[in-house]
Amino acid sequence: MYGQPADMDAIMDIAKRHNLYVIEDCSQAILAEYKGKKVGTIGDIGTFSFQESKHITCGDGGITITNNDELGDRAKLFANKGWPKKVGNSERDYLCFGNNYRMTELQAAVLCAQFKKVKKITKRRNELGDKLTELLKNTKGIRPAYIIPGAKSVYWLYPLKVDTKLLGVSLLDFAKAVSKERVSIGAGYLGQPLYLFDLIKNRVIYGNSKYPFDSPKYGKEVKYEKGLCPNCEKIFEDSAQILIKENFTDKDIKDIATAIKKVAGYYIYKQKDQL
């Protein structure tokens, strides 16, 4: 999330004990590292996004990687209509139901050019994000990005925790005040966890079917409602995101830190004045 790896040791341990596959969603974290290993190479499958907002892009789409030949072959079938295309085999066949998720040649050409600069992009973002963390430390009401031990973030965005209770201001109003200082900031990410959107709450997936929610194979009902993941919901209430781009200068980062400190300081002073 935001360019930082998850605690992969704990995840892999759980998977091993319960005989599960691990699929790493690295959409926001290309070339990020966990204890010296690149994300996407730790689990069974790694997935990367090249949608227009990511570190590198070919317009949209992504890439899936694995070192498991069986899973790789199954993934190819899924992306290519269930059709096992093999060299020298002109006969058409369908081994399973598949979709048409093939990348076009033009997208591939654009992406090949992008790959040449991805190391430079992610290295610079890592430097800028770490610099912003250093500048924001010890700022009352603000917790800068916390990077878990052994991890290296590539800062797709820079996450910021705002102590709205201490500052006496809503997350949205804090973000509005920072944006008036000409800093690009978002409040709450998606607004709420995915399971609280009507799509999931009303169980509308395939037309009038409630599958997979009503699958008899599952054996129990899961209610998707507020309170299901309280820690996740709390993060949406007090987390903001600062835009970071590899072409930012050190002065840009200093200006961002100055703006955040200014706004946080104002609300701290306002709280004291009211007392």
pLDDT the model gives residue 275: 59
pLDDT the model gives residue 88: 62
Domain 120-193+229-275 has CATH 3.30.1330.50: no
The segment(s) of the chain belonging to CATH 3.40.640.10 are 1-116
Contact present, 168 and 162 (Cβ < 8 Å): no
The segment(s) of the chain belonging to CATH 3.90.1150.10 are 120-193+229-275
Whole-Å CA distances, 71 to 11, 44, 62 = 20, 8, 17
Tell me the whole-structure pTM to 2 decimals. 0.87
pLDDT the model gives residue 202: 81
The yes-or-no verdict on residue 78 having pLDDT over 90 is no
**Distance of alpha carbon 131 from alpha carbon 249, whole angstroms:** 11
**Distance of alpha carbon 57 from alpha carbon 55, whole angstroms:** 7
Which CATH architecture group holds 1-116? 3-Layer(aba) Sandwich (3.40)
pLDDT confidence tier of residue 52, bands split at 50, 70 and 90: very high
